[in-house]
Amino acid sequence: MPTRAFTFFVAPSLIIMLALMTLPLLASVVLGMHYITFRNLDAPLWVGLQNYEQALADPEFWDSLEFTLIFIAATVPTRIVLGLIFALLLDQIKRFRGVFIAAALVPFVMTPVVGTLIFRDMFDRGGPYWYWMQQLFDYRLFMDSTTVPLLIIFHNIWTATPFAMIVLFAGLQTLPQESLEAARVDGASWLRQLWHVAIPHLRSLFVFIALISIMDAYRVFDSVFVLTQQNPIFDAETIMYYNFQVALSFGRLGKANAMSILTVIGIFVVLIPFLVMTYREQVEEV
């Protein structure tokens, strides 16, 4: 394709990304250097780096980062392992595969606010899970600063496992048949086939799922909003949720912009190796 045609095709989308992403991002950096509340929206007060310093010195900011990191560490490996287990189980059967997969899509496609709401109802007093836990283990679940963070983590695993399962199941269908055949001829057990053929073949998919999962877990918001009911006593604020509160509940727009720029820097530090890797992969294909 000649360069002129390329410019013609790509320019509209590039202009969108520049005008609607790059400019707002730069605006955010600048807004972060101003003192802005709902009262002085049209007359922001220049304060230099003060908001950035305040954000970095804010213990709640670090608390929310800590919970976000715990959340990532708890959910990302779990969804990959569970996704692999269920993908392997699906791989073992032929009948009703479609039904099992369709059912798994339900928590995945459901509007997150709604999904969290109905998930919470299951654990609220009088809900089936609450009742069965009480009957079977004599445990009365009570929403407090231990259980609510756990429910936020569990909810995420509930909605995200199907994604990992479907991606890995599709990967299992494209295993190199010659290697499997060779393994079978050698009398390799299922476990050895898994370890020596399947897992190495799925490696790039693991990286892919981990990458998506880390990005999404880092910015989890909706489920925190619903499960904490905006009540601080549950001590389950994620970084996005705290940032949202600083902006809309406390009305400190300048500080909130500074915080969101800090979180952007945070995720980029983690992702740069992945971005470099993708760049190398793609350049090879050119």
Partner 1 sequence: MTQTRSPLARAVIYAVLVVFTIYNVLPFCWTILNSLKLPKVANSRTPRFLFQPTGEHYADLWLNMHPEDFAPYGLALLLIIFALVVIVFYAGRLPVPNGLIYAGVAAAGLALLLGLPRVVNTAEFYDYLVNSVIVTIGTLAVSLSFGALAGYGLARYRHVISVVILVLALAFRSLPSLALVLPFYYLGQLSGLYDTHILLILCLVAVNQPFTIWMLRSFFMEIPREIEEAAMIDGAGRLRSFVSVIVPIMGPGIITTGLFTLLLAYNDFLLARILTQINWTLPVGIAQWTGGEDPGHITLAAAGSVSVTLPILVVIIFFQKYLIRGLASGAVKG
Contact positions with partner 1 (CB under 8 A) in 156-185: 158, 162-163, 166-167, 169-172, 175, 180, 184
Query: For residue 45, what is the enclosing H or E element?
Result: strand 45-46
Stretch that binds partner 1, among 46-54, 58-66, 146-154, 244-252 (CB under 8 A): 244-252
Structure tokens at 139: 């445990």
Stretch that binds partner 1, among 57-65, 69-77, 145-153, 275-283 (CB under 8 A): 275-283
Q: Bridge-partner residues for 34, per DSSP?
A: 46
Q: Smallest Cα–Cα separation from 119: which of 109, 103, 107, 101?
A: 107
Collapsed DSSP state (helix, strand, coil) of residue 35 = strand
Tell me if 275 contacts partner 1 by CB under 8 A.
yes
Q: Smallest Cα–Cα separation from 261: which of 236, 238, 239, 230?
A: 239
Write down the least CB distance from residue 57 to partner 1, Å. Answer: 20
Residues 44-83 as x/- pattern, contact with partner 1 by CB under 8 A: ----------------------------------------
Could you give phi then psi for residue 134, rounded to 5 degrees? -70, -40
Stretch that binds partner 1, among 15-23, 50-58, 70-78, 145-153 (CB under 8 A): 15-23
Residues numbered 99 to 118 that lie near partner 1 (CB under 8 A) are: 99-107, 109-115, 117-118
Write down the least CB distance from residue 90 to partner 1, Å. Answer: 7
Q: Which of 90, 148, 152, 217 binds partner 1 (CB under 8 A)?
A: 90
Residues numbered 120 to 139 that lie near partner 1 (CB under 8 A) are: 121-122, 124-128, 131
- Residue positions counted in the chain: 286
Q: Could you give the CA distance from residue 112 to residue 150 in angstroms, rounded to a whole number?
A: 17
Collapsed DSSP state (helix, strand, coil) of residue 228 = coil
Collapsed DSSP state (helix, strand, coil) of residue 49 = coil
